[in-house]
């Protein structure tokens, strides 16, 4: 019997827009489905663009599982709040990223992420970390002096969409950094070290467990999930996600607010071991 007709050994799911609704909650049905999978010995990975400081609510809602944070830059123990492994962007690549994007998109502004802090330019208008950095600097290059898990690049005036920014940045940052986004409406890019992505890190960690792509299922909704959806042999794009997600996934799940992931997991658990 093919691995593709058996119960998976690993479930990887994005959070926001996939199992976390716009109001910030995970449904009881989704929690129950993931818990049932965990009880059957299936490895559960929450693969997210979130930094560690945004994970306590997930750890409280789901008392099991592992986490890949910052779009693949961190392997993170959410229940003991401990970074297990990291793949950070070198200083020189951060500087080069800023220089190249600034030349191509003059109105762009930047912020830098680490495990527990967020530093930004004054022009960069934060939406989620308001108060985390109250001052900001004129030029982010003034404070880039150590490796970072992620750079964010924003057009605060929304002159370009996230998709438009991404098309430009992929060309400009070829060989320098990995660039993606998790919200098509927010004029925001998320930039990691070259070669680092959710899919790359998931494949690396799955191999350590002796688990193949055929034994893995994945769920996601936005471009930062595409590498993960492409790698897993069984993967679902959310019906209410980015329109290009289906080009990387094998199937489509019902919208996240209709428990699309839970419904697919329930069916997967009915398969033979």
Measure the CA–CA gap between 181 and 151, rounded to whole angstroms. Answer: 11
Yes or no: say if 190 and 150 are a contact pair by the CB < 8 Å rule: yes
- Return the ∠ at Cα 248 (arms to 42 and 165), rounded to 5°: 120
What pLDDT does residue 3 have?
81
User: Tokens in use for 9?
Assistant: 């050994």
Which residues, including other chains, have CB under 8 Å from residue 1's CB and lie 6 or more apart? 272
Q: Is pLDDT at 130 greater than 60 in this prediction?
A: no
pLDDT band at 135 (very low <50, low <70, confident <90, very high): confident
pLDDT at 186: 86
Higher pLDDT, 19 or 156: 19
**% the chain with pLDDT above 90:** 88
8-66 pLDDT, tens per residue?
999 999 999 999 998 789 999 999 999 999 999 999 999 999 999 999 999 999 999 99
Look at strands 216-220 and 234-238 and give their pairing. Answer: parallel
- List the domains of the chain with CATH numbers: 3-87+197-268 (3.40.50.1000), 91-193 (3.30.1240.10)
Distance CA 112, CA 204 (A): 25
pTM (2 decimals)? 0.95
Closest CA to 31 of 8, 68, 69, 58: 58
According to the per-residue pLDDT averaged within each range, which of 18-27, 64-73, 128-137 is highest? 64-73
The tens digit of pLDDT for each residue in 194-238 reads 999 999 999 999 999 999 999 999 999 999 999 999 999 999 999
Using CA atoms, how far apart are residues 217 and 49, in angstroms rounded to an integer? 18
């Amino acid at each position: 019997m093919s691995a593709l007709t058996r119960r998976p050994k690993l479930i990887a799911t994005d959070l926001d827009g996939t199992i976390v609704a716009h109001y910030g909650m995970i449904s009881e049905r989704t929690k129950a489905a993931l818990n049932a999978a965990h009880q059957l010995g299936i490895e559960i990975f929450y693969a997210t663009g979130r930094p560690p400081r945004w994970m306590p609510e997930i750890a409280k809602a789901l008392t099991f599982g592992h986490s890949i944070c910052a779009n693949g830059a961190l392997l993170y123990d959410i229940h003991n709040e401990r970074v297990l492994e990291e793949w950070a962007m070198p200083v020189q690549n951060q500087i080069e990223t800023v220089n190249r994007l600034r030349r191509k998109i003059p109105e762009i502004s930047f912020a830098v992420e680490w495990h527990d802090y967020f530093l930004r330019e004054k022009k960069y208008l934060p939406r989620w970390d308001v108060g985390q950095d109250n001052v900001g600097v004129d030029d982010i290059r003034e404070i880039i002096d150590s490796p970072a898990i992620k750079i964010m690049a924003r057009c605060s005036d929304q002159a370009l969409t996230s998709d438009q920014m991404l098309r430009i940045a992929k060309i400009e940052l070829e060989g320098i950094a990995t660039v993606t986004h998790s919200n098509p409406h927010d004029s925001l890019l998320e930039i990691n070290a070259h070669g680092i992505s959710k899919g790359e890190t998931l494949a690396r960690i799955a191999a350590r467990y002796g688990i193949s792509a055929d034994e893995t299922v994945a769920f996601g909704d936005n471009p930062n999930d595409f590498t993960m959806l492409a790698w897993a042999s069984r993967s679902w794009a959310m019906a209410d996600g980015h329109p290009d997600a289906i080009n990387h996934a094998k199937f489509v799940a019902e919208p996240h607010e209709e428990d699309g992931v839970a419904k697919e997991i329930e069916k997967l658990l009915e398969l033979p071991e």
